[in-house]
């Protein structure tokens, strides 16, 4: 059976896995992404992790690498915001030299595009085409698969779905604009909304759950409180549902997708969020587009990046 190496470089962890051609993870290991030292430190870490995996590159068909930032069509990485000191870099070249592995057998891609490939090929995307992935986590990201490939745009940077506008007068987004999906349906966005509501509701069970400490407030607090019927938490859930529904309706109208897959930590709220958001999105979207779209939860979470990177490697 052929083996593929997937490397998922994240802002916090670097994860690696060996996959077989059916997408099954044979082995997996991870380490802390270096906070300094740039590419050289990252390459050294990958060397250490690969030793843990105990596999020779002679046994690997090809390698896929996901990075949390823009990657252009030629595979050049452009200054990932969470990887200090990277700048503009041909990462495949560095890795090829270090591992003494042919460069043409290494593919580097944007992590969201690769996660979408993983869902499309082996996950809940189920090879639906077009398929849209949105991830609701620290940020809001996404990718669009069309004809089996991530939609790249002219330069390779397309599908910044987290910056679709939801509320023109909403909170400031990291991109400088107000009211993007990322400013509202991300971890931070939901906490901000929850805090505003919580301040006006001293009777909410969430106060007890967080020990009156703002730093303890997370989307999970809101989810758990909503599950037991807390009115303040249910208000947050309702607002988040509305924001998500607008995003989904826009995605339906633009891409006419066969499936929309929703991943990231926030999607673990499950049907309490997805159920009403799905219904409202279909109500808002144009009828002929809304008719056949399926909106489902992702299959892969912590290992989506590794599976996606190896999936991209299988296509070389």
Contacting residues toward Zn ion, per CB under 5 A: 163, 173, 175, 177, 180
- At residue 263, φ and ψ (nearest 5 deg) are -120, -170
Indicate the residue among 81 and 148 with the shorter CB distance to Zn ion. 81
Q: How many CA atoms lie within 13 A of 146 on its CB side?
A: 10
For the bound state, the minimum distance from the C-beta of residue 177 to Zn ion, rounded and expressed in Å, comes to 5
Please count the other Cβ atoms lying within 10 Å of the Cβ belonging to residue 102.
Answer: 11
In this complex, which beta carbon is closest to Zn ion, that of residue 163 or of residue 243? 163
CB 181, min distance to Zn ion, A: 8
Picking from 244, 258, 264, 257, the residue whose alpha carbon sits closest to that of residue 305 is 264
Q: In the bound complex, what is the minimum distance in angstroms from residue 164's beta carbon to Zn ion?
A: 9
Q: Which is nearer to Zn ion, 117 or 266 (CB)?
A: 266
CB of 178 to Zn ion, least distance (A): 8
Please state, in angstroms and rounded to a whole number, the distance separating the CA atoms of residues 8 and 22: 19
Choice between 139 and 265, CB closer to Zn ion: 139
H/E run at residue 15: strand 13-20
Instruction: Compute CA distances 251 → 5, 134, 162, 257, whole Å.
Output: 32, 10, 11, 8
Closer residue to Zn ion (CB): 92 or 180: 180
Contact 249, 284 (CB under 8 A): yes
Q: In the bound complex, what is the minimum distance in angstroms from residue 167's beta carbon to Zn ion? A: 12
Task: Give residue 50's region: left, alpha or beta (phi > 0; psi -120 to 50).
Answer: alpha
């Amino acid at each position: 059976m052929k083996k593929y190496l997937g490397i998922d470089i994240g802002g916090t962890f670097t994860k690696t896995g060996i996959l077989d051609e059916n997408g099954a993870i044979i082995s997996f290991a991870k380490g802390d992404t270096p906070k300094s030292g740039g590419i050289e430190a990252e390459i050294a870490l990958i060397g250490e992790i690969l030793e843990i995996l105990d596999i020779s590159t002679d046994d690997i068909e090809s390698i896929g690498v996901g990075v949390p930032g823009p990657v252009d069509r030629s595979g050049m990485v452009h200054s990932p915001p969470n990887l200090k000191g990277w700048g503009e870099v041909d990462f495949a070249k560095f890795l090829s030299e270090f591992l003494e592995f042919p460069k043409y057998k290494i593919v580097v891609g944007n992590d969201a595009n690769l996660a979408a490939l993983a869902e499309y090929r082996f996950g809940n995307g189920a090879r639906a085409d077009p398929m849209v992935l949105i991830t609701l986590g620290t940020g809001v990201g996404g990718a669009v698969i069309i004809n089996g490939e991530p939609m790249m745009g002219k330069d390779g940077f397309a599908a910044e779905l987290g910056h679709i506008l939801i509320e023109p007068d909403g909170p400031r987004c990291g991109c400088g604009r107000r009211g993007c999906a990322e400013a509202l349906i991300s971890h931070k966005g939901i906490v901000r909304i929850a805090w505003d509501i919580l301040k006006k509701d001293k009777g909410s069970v969430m106060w007890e759950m967080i020990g009156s400490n703002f730093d303890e407030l997370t989307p999970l607090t809101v989810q758990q409180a909503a599950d037991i019927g807390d009115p303040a938490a249910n208000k947050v859930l309702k607002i988040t549902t509305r924001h998500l529904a607008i995003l989904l309706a826009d995605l339906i109208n633009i891409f006419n997708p066969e499936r929309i897959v929703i991943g990231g930590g926030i999607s673990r709220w499950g049907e309490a969020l997805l159920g009403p958001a799905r219904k409202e999105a279909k109500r808002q979207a144009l009828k002929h587009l809304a008719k056949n779209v399926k909106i489902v939860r992702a299959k892969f979470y912590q290992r989506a990046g590794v599976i996606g990177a190896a999936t991209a490697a299988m296509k070389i």
